[in-house]
């Protein structure tokens, strides 16, 4: 394998491919831990050395905004890559390469709403709750009107908020509308159904 010496973070890093200048420019915004810049030997049947950063970069195509994953994707559209001795979602690997460790209770979420995007600038850490709020805000969730089983519609949401403002308790509203008190809480606090 022919490697190209590339100046990156004031170090000379060997990368297999001549990546687009725009990509290398964007990379200089990040501090990649040195363990991910150290080449490792490829497995049986493949020859040469490649570093984890390199194997990651060789699978992306940059657009004006996103870095799209071009290698294998799982059925929901998230990229997959073998990293740190296990298969992982590509956007999570991006976070580890460019931003650091992912705390165990947190998820890596997209601001751009493109699942195959691995641009670290489009990623943020959040809880499962943040993820579902984000989905509702972006109208991607199975809650709300898209769900054929829905119990709520815009009229009912307005009604719930009105009744709550008049002093009806969340548990009473939950019983009246057939939803849980925590859903009522999230509705009246505009955590969900934000656009109504």
Binding site for Zn ion (CB under 5 A): 66, 112, 114, 117, 119, 122
The token pair that represents 1 in the structure block: 């394998």
Closest CB to Zn ion among residues 53, 114: 114
41 vs 51: CA distance, rounded Å? 8
Least distance CB 122 / Zn ion (angstroms): 4
103 secondary structure, DSSP code: P
Half-sphere exposure of 161 (CA within 13 A, CB side): 17
Least distance CB 123 / Zn ion (angstroms): 8
Least distance CB 121 / Zn ion (angstroms): 8
The token pair that represents 144 in the structure block: 């709300």
Closest CB to Zn ion among residues 110, 186: 110
Least distance CB 188 / Zn ion (angstroms): 33
Closest CB to Zn ion among residues 71, 163: 71
Closest CB to Zn ion among residues 27, 157: 27
Q: Buried (b) or exposed (e) across 107-136, using 16+ Cβ within 10 A?
A: bbbbeeebbbbbbbbbbbeeeeeebbbbbb
């Amino acid at each position: 394998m022919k490697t190209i010496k590339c100046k990156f973070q004031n170090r000379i890093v060997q990368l297999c491919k001549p990546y687009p200048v725009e990509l290398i420019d964007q990379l200089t915004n990040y501090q990649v831990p040195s363990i991910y810049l150290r080449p490792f030997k490829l497995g049986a049947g493949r020859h040469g050395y490649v570093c984890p950063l390199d194997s990651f970069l060789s699978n992306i195509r940059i657009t004006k905004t996103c870095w799209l994953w071009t290698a294998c994707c799982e059925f929901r559209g998230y990229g997959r890559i073998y990293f740190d001795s296990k298969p992982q979602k590509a956007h999570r690997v991006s976070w580890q390469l460019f931003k650091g460790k992912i705390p165990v209770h947190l998820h890596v979420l997209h601001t751009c709403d493109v699942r195959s995007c691995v641009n670290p600038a489009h990623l943020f850490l959040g809880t499962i709750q943040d993820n579902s709020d984000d989905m509702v805000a972006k109208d991607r969730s199975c809650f709300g009107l898209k769900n054929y089983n829905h119990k709520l519609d815009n009229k009912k949401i307005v009604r719930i908020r009105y009744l709550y403002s008049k002093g009806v308790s969340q548990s009473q509203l939950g019983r009246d509308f057939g939803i849980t008190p925590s859903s009522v809480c999230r509705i009246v606090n505009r955590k969900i159904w934000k656009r109504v």
